[in-house]
Structures are given as C-alpha cells and as structure tokens.
C-alpha cells in the first residue's frame, strides 16, 4: 500500500474520545473509502493506526497487532 494521508484522516474521523475496537474503526473506514483508495485493506489500516499511536495522534490499549482486541481513541485531555 502506498501511504496516503486520506487514510489517516479517515481513521481519525472515524475515531472518538471513547475507546473503540480497531476492527470497528477499520470497518467504518473501509465503508467510507472512495474509489481512489479501494485497494486499502484492514491490514493497511492497522499499520496506519499503529503509526498514529506512535505519533501521539491516537491513544491505545490492548494488542494493536490484533485489530479485534486492540482499542483506540482520540487523545483525551485530563
């Protein structure tokens, strides 16, 4: 997959301040992906989720290598 900022934008748009399973966010992203990004897979989304967490743009808990058990959310100011 060639990196495209639209994937990150979609992941962030589909995330919230409440923890959600990565698989739920990925399904939503795949549903709203336009024809230009039709070759994006859940594996690609998982890769970008891990990068967004590493950049501090998302928070996580659980195993992000397993999109069914890992969870993400937008950073919450405490």
- pLDDT at 36 > cutoff 80: no
- pLDDT at 32 > cutoff 60: yes
Percent of the chain, pLDDT > 90?
71
Neighbours of 59 (CB within 10 A): 16
Tokens of 19: 């923890």
Tokens of 21: 């399973």
Average pLDDT over residues 30-57: 89
- pLDDT at 10 > cutoff 80: yes
Average pLDDT over residues 25-50: 88
Q: Where are the domains of the chain?
A: 5-73
- Is residue 75 within 8 A of residue 57, CB to CB? The reply is yes
CATH of 5-73, picked from 3.30.360, 1.10.10, 3.40.50, 2.60.120, is: 1.10.10
Local confidence band at 33 (pLDDT 50, 70, 90 cut-offs): confident
Supply the pLDDT for residue 63. 96
């Amino acid at each position: 997959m060639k990196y495209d900022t639209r994937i990150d934008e979609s992941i962030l748009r589909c995330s919230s301040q409440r923890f959600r399973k990565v698989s739920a966010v990925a399904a939503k992203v795949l549903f709203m992906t336009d024809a230009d990004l039709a070759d994006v897979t859940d594996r690609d989304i998982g890769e970008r989720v891990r990068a967004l967490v590493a950049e501090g743009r998302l928070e996580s808990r659980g195993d992000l290598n397993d999109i069914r058990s890992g969870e993400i959310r937008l950073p919450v100011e405490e």
